[in-house]
Structure 1
């Protein structure tokens, strides 16, 4: 996984107070809603992609879409919460770490993760797939980190073969802006399924 791409991911998920064309809120990847087959063997299980993320404690119930990096930037569609396809990340609901991102601000209005910083340890997050199956996660830690720290964070990008984990990432709304208009740091919440 490229450090540059991870840094761009952390930046692209933020939005800014201004409608800056360099910080697009338009989708950067095609969303698939049909089941997809993993791996090359005929015995590989069919995986149904997730379609909805719910965080009751901060009143988030949003469409969950897949996005890929384009020119090393991941930009979730306006109004949606996106899981990152690629970089050896898994679909939300699978064993491994899934990176999920959404905007704090979209143009001049609140994005889906505007209140993500209100999450506390013990809060729940659920992911529902197209069949209606739901995986419930519990927040185990929250933190503010610089974009560089996030880009090398083992809890986000490290190997994980034991747990179903979500790394929820958005911009830190309190840390101010860099000269390029992007936020200085990110807010990260790690949640794991029982």
Structure 2
């Protein structure tokens, strides 16, 4: 087996970690951006109440979903509506049991949570990133301004582009985070993009997480 095949298999095995166990760890939300300063003149935009995810739409009212994709690690994410165009690196669980963050020194870097499915597979893929760092806004600073119906494009290492359409944007308190709703498998290929949000204090950092809900609508 070649080095690239070994790396692919390692990622595949990591992905197969028991999602139920991981979800329990994450029920309190993500602390991945707890290094964010939150001290700039204009804070990150927050989702409007009207942007809440509508989980009651029926399959007949949704765009026809393309066939799910096989395993392939995310390579880059683009959200044109908020000018995001960033490389993606795999991230896992840190020593505190939280989803590990990409290095905060690089403000334009996102992380694919390697214990979730890869974008385009059946299940819920998770991409995370900082809202800011000590120097200023970071990759997902504008995530709360995402609108329903906007598109998120993920380039995968197999050369395919998985295109997701947003159907909800919400902010949840970290101490009351609906893990099953956010991370649960809907039976179709979905994506969650997550960063910090809500109120901010110097002592505790951000008290919430902004979560974008999206579903696969195109493969190219």
TM over 0.5: yes
Secondary structure of 2:166's match?
Answer: strand
Question: Relative to 1, partners in 2 of residues 1:119 and 1:14: Cα closer, same or farther, differing over 3 Å?
Answer: farther
The corresponding residue for 2:200 is 176
How many pairs are equivalent?
162
1:167 lines up with 2:187 in the alignment: no
Bigger-Rg structure (1/2): 2
Among candidates 176, 181, 186, match of residue 155 of structure 1: 181
Structure 1 residues without counterparts, runs of 5 or longer? 19-44
1:101 lines up with 2:128 in the alignment: yes
Deviation string, structure 1 residues 66-103 (Cα, Å, up to 9, x no partner) = 100121131123331111112xx201121110111100
Conserved? CA contact 1:5–1:69, under 8 Å? no
TM-score of the superposed pair, with normalisation by structure 1:
0.75
Among candidates 15, 21, 36, match of residue 16 of structure 1: 36
User: How far did 1:110 drift?
Assistant: 1.3
Secondary structure of 1:11's match?
Answer: coil
Of stretches 45-54 and 95-104 in structure 1, the one that deviates more from structure 2 is 45-54
Aligned counterparts of 1:16 and 1:67: Cα–Cα separation in 2: 18
1:63 lines up with 2:87 in the alignment: yes
User: How far did 1:9 drift?
Assistant: 6.0
TM-score of the superposed pair, with normalisation by structure 2:
0.66
Structure with more of its chain in helix, by fraction: 2
The corresponding residue for 1:37 is none
